[in-house]
Homo-oligomer: A and B are copies of this chain.
């Protein structure tokens, strides 16, 4: 607890709470990624009110640009005022009512998180599991659908915890054959990996601002098909969450009279618009190709320095590469060396993969030849320090 501040206390404390001087890190982990200077500039533009006519225009443009990024014509497309997990919870809590069955595909940490949310909101989670580092097989999804009365199938497109990029087209087809909705976690893929919401028949797709979109964390873009909105509008019970209730947020973000719901994080929306504008300028397809090329370069270099890729090599996510930590190498030591000697951060494993894998992200502005080469070189030197090559 902060003490009552006598003048002496104040002097002391002001030394403790000094000016922030963050290190200039190259963020090559699972996200957040570094932020383009243009996005940072947008972040400090003059703030206006959340109901200001100027901001209404900013919102419309942001929605338009998000539709471009998701490749969708969905009316209900906007950023949730929270981080990626808030996007996940919005998707789940709007769909699930007490007793509803949902097929949840789990190929890592974030699939488990979806399953947890389904259960919290009173649903029954029918889990379909893949081995860590492998994709979910469509046959397993079909079996789960055939043996249940599932309202939806939820699946992670880019499983950040294992570096898998999950193929979706066939699973979407099966899901719709069984009359279920397809919910997709695109937290790490949006703006970096091929994703076609309408063409692939995705009903709800959510993401986050701080990965391939290269914006500060704090917003979770989401898009919802008319089919899913119709399910939501015809719920037997109200959505438990007020904050994530899409039917009311829609009135603020999409409808022209903009009924107040909550105070949007104005400056983060400025930043998101700029991040999306950068994407628009580069073009989606070019962005996807850039991420694939730099991931391939990275994978080659990683193998050259004697490490092995954790993920099934046919399905590596272009935004994040998972690497096996060799036996007898200390996870923490290597990451500390990268951080302290190179100012580079990479991520360790989550949950049961802690200590077993590293995760290197090349996302948004950070997906470059230079960074792919640099991080492999730095890893090699850190491993030398650990006497890995002796």
Check A44 for interface membership: any CB of B closer than 8 A: yes
- From A28, which residue of chain B is reached at the shortest CB distance? B49
Interface locus among A100-108, A113-121, A368-376: A113-121
Query: Judging by beta carbons under 8 Å apart, are B280 and A120 in contact?
Result: no
29-52 of chain A: CB within 8 A of chain B: 29, 31-32, 34-35, 40, 42-50, 52
Interface locus among A57-65, A150-158, A309-317: A57-65
Query: Judging by beta carbons under 8 Å apart, are B47 and A265 in contact?
Result: no
Query: Judging by beta carbons under 8 Å apart, are A16 and B61 in contact?
Result: yes
Q: How large is the interface on A (under 10, 10 to 19, 20 to 34, 35 or more residues)?
A: 35 or more
Contact status of A1 and B72, CB under 8 A, knowing A47-B27, A217-B50, A218-B218: yes
Q: Which of A85, A89, A267 has the most CB atoms of chain B within a 10 A radius of its CB? A: A267
Question: A5 to chain B: which residues have CB within 8 Å?
Answer: 68, 280, 283
Check A145 for interface membership: any CB of B closer than 8 A: no
**Given B22, B218, B347, which contacts A46 in the complex, CB threshold below 8 Å?**
B22
Cβ proximity bits A230-245 to B, threshold 8 Å, 1 near / 0 not:
0000000011111110
Query: Judging by beta carbons under 8 Å apart, are B243 and A89 in contact?
Result: yes
Q: Which of A16, A24, A43, A263 has the most CB atoms of chain B within a 10 A radius of its CB? A: A263
Contact status of A270 and B31, CB under 8 A, knowing A81-B82, A120-B240: no
**Given B49, B84, B116, which contacts A27 in the complex, CB threshold below 8 Å?**
B49
- Rounded to whole Å, the gap between the CB of A273 and the closest CB of chain B is 7
Bound-state CA distance A244–B65 (Å) is 29
Query: Judging by beta carbons under 8 Å apart, are A83 and B84 in contact?
Result: no
Query: Judging by beta carbons under 8 Å apart, are B61 and A17 in contact?
Result: yes
Question: A267 to chain B: which residues have CB within 8 Å?
Answer: 43, 216-218
Check A140 for interface membership: any CB of B closer than 8 A: no
- From A274, which residue of chain B is reached at the shortest CB distance? B20
Query: Judging by beta carbons under 8 Å apart, are A32 and B20 in contact?
Result: no
Contact status of A81 and B73, CB under 8 A, knowing A47-B34, A242-B113: no
Check A264 for interface membership: any CB of B closer than 8 A: yes
Check A126 for interface membership: any CB of B closer than 8 A: no
Check A13 for interface membership: any CB of B closer than 8 A: yes
Question: A2 to chain B: which residues have CB within 8 Å?
Answer: 64-65, 67-68, 280
Question: A204 to chain B: which residues have CB within 8 Å?
Answer: none
Bound-state CA distance A120–B264 (Å) is 22
Check A208 for interface membership: any CB of B closer than 8 A: yes
- 22 A/B residue pairs, CB under 8 Å, sorted by A: A1-B72, A2-B67, A17-B64, A17-B277, A20-B45, A22-B45, A25-B46, A25-B52, A29-B49, A32-B266, A34-B47, A81-B86, A82-B86, A83-B264, A85-B262, A89-B241, A93-B240, A116-B242, A117-B242, A216-B266, A216-B267, A218-B265
List 5 tightest A-B contacts by C-beta distance, closest first. A218-B265, A2-B68, A1-B73, A85-B262, A216-B267
